[in-house]
């Protein structure tokens, strides 16, 4: 099926100059689950109204709201409408934004990855005769415009230009750490990766390589922004990246899908998503605290479910080549197929998609319950809003990256309509 991307409908005309170019469009659902439909969620209108009214849990009309109500800074991003643009928007959550500073994100991403590509130890890690850390960096640099740097651009739309650059640099570390573990598992040379992260008391230490220097400089800037904002997201982001280097191999068998999702929530890259969102807005709110913990868990379920479907074909291909050795214990589509004895990959993807949409309904209900409780502060709401945009930003990145769909998802000239004729939708 030919994909039609109506770019003039993706954003407002006055925002076109800031629009990140799109070269790929990956539809991982297609016609697999015609019985699953997008739902009408109340959170969509809540997010829309909060752009002018601030925290919607205050109640009353916008005329009754305080003019000084804290709000997220929308000046750093543009509004996107992927549904109007005919992108395969397989979620019921609609609000999407894109950072204006995508060029700064690319610059930060390139800065760190170039150091990985040139580092002598990275060229030998885990062994010279394997797909090394330096190879991983070079591969990502070769597909920069449609690579994982899009995560920083779409998932953190409220960050200023400096923070977007720093988030892209942290994203490059996340990519290398995750790819090393995914491809090589226990052979990924944990000692080398750990040496790149500065110890807590490193003021009297001098980085030994240009790679170390680049990473330590970036981390110090992240922590400095935390101090300036009186926030904690940056420190939590660094702590997570450090601990992620040595995260354990998954249990070989899960008794229920809930057990699997709980393991993935704690093991996979969810925390980097929430700490990045928190850092981007200068927040101190606890996303796994008593108040927001359940909502954060449900948002993570949605993101994990979506990512597992989108990455399934890529991960299975690597697994069949002898790489991605933990594929059968880390991808939710595989777990569902085995637990439910489903007849095919297609049936398993369809079931996983239904589960994703159910998680979105649960998010909506949980958010309504929080609203009725009257306990949400302005700071709570700003973090919630930022995390919801992280969820839709994650989907926007997955659709438009080459990482999951590969060259089969590349848009050809006839797939892109810059100015559709009137009435030709």
Per-residue pLDDT reduced to its tens digit, 354-408: 999 999 999 999 999 999 999 999 999 999 999 999 999 999 999 999 999 999 9
**If pLDDT is split at 50, 70 and 90, which confidence band does 412 have?**
confident
- 425 found inside a domain: no
- 424 found inside a domain: no
Instruction: Identify the pLDDT of residue 325.
Output: 77
Per-residue pLDDT tens digits for 153-163: 999 999 999 99
Q: What angle do CA 180, 298, 288 make, to 5 degrees?
A: 75
Contacts of 334 (CB under 8 A, 6+ apart): 312, 327, 328, 348
H or E, element range at 23: none
Count CB neighbours of 62 within 10 A: 12
Instruction: Give the count of domains, the chain.
Output: 1
Instruction: Identify the pLDDT of residue 181.
Output: 78
- 423 found inside a domain: no
CA distance 410 to 146: 10
* Terminal Cα distance for the chain, rounded: 16
Q: Please give the sequence-ordered ranges of beta strands (E in DSSP) within 76-182, or none if there are none.
A: 77-80, 96-99
Token couple for 30: 């297609």
Strands 5-6 and 416-417: what pairing? parallel
Q: With 60 as the cut, is the pLDDT of residue 65 above it? A: no
- 406 found inside a domain: yes
Token couple for 207: 């980085």
Instruction: Identify the pLDDT of residue 425.
Output: 40
Q: With 90 as the cut, is the pLDDT of residue 416 above it? A: no
Residue from 318, 267, 314, 307 nearest 131 by CA: 318
- 65 found inside a domain: no
Looking at the chain, the whole-number percentage of residues with pLDDT higher than 90 is 69
CATH value at residue 23: 1.10.600.10
As a residue count, the chain comes to 425
Query: Which residue range(s) make up the domain with 99?
Result: 5-54+72-417
Q: With 80 as the cut, is the pLDDT of residue 251 above it? A: no
């Amino acid at each position: 099926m030919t994909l039609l991307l109506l770019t003039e409908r993706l954003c407002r005309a006055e925002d076109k100059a800031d629009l990140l170019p799109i070269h790929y469009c990956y539809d991982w659902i297609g016609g697999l689950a015609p019985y699953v439909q997008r739902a009408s969620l109340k959170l969509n209108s809540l997010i829309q109204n909060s752009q002018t009214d601030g925290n919607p849990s205050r109640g009353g009309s916008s005329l009754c709201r305080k003019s000084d109500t804290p709000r997220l800074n929308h000046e750093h991003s543009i509004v996107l409408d992927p549904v109007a643009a005919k992108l395969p928007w397989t979620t019921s959550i609609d609000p999407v934004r894109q950072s204006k500073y995508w060029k700064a994100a690319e610059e930060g991403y390139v800065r760190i990855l170039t150091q990985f590509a040139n580092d002598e130890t990275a060229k030998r890690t885990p062994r010279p005769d394997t797909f090394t850390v330096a190879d991983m960096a070079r591969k990502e640099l070769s597909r920069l415009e449609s690579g994982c740097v899009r995560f920083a651009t779409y998932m953190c739309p409220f960050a200023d230009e400096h923070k977007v650059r720093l988030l892209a640099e942290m994203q490059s570390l996340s990519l290398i750490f995750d790819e090393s573990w995914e491809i090589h598992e226990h052979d990924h040379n944990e000692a080398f990766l750990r040496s790149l992260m500065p110890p807590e008391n490193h003021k009297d230490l001098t980085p030994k390589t240009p790679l170390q220097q680049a990473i330590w400089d970036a981390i110090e800037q992240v922590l400095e922004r935390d101090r300036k904002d009186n926030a904690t997201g940056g420190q939590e982001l660094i702590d997570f990246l450090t601990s992620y280097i040595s995260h354990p191999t998954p249990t070989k068998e899960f008794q229920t899908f809930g057990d699997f999702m709980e393991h993935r929530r704690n093991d996979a890259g969810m925390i980097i998503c929430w700490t990045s969102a928190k850092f981007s807005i200068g927040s101190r709110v606890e996303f796994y605290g008593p108040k927001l913990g359940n909502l954060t868990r449900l948002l993570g379920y949605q993101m994990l479910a979506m990512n597992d479907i989108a990455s399934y074909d890529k991960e299975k291909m690597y697994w069949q080549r002898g790489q991605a050795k933990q594929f059968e214990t880390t991808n939710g589509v595989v777990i569902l197929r085995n637990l439910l004895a489903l007849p095919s990959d297609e049936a398993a993807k369809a079931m996983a998609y239904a589960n994703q949409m159910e998680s979105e309904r649960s998010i909506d209900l949980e958010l309504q319950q929080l609203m009725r409780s009257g306990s949400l502060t302005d700071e709570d709401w700003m973090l919630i809003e930022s995390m919801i945009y992280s969820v839709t930003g994650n989907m926007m990145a997955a659709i438009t990256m080459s990482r999951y769909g590969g060259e089969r998802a590349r848009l050809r000239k006839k797939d892109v309509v810059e100015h559709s004729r009137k009435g030709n939708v």
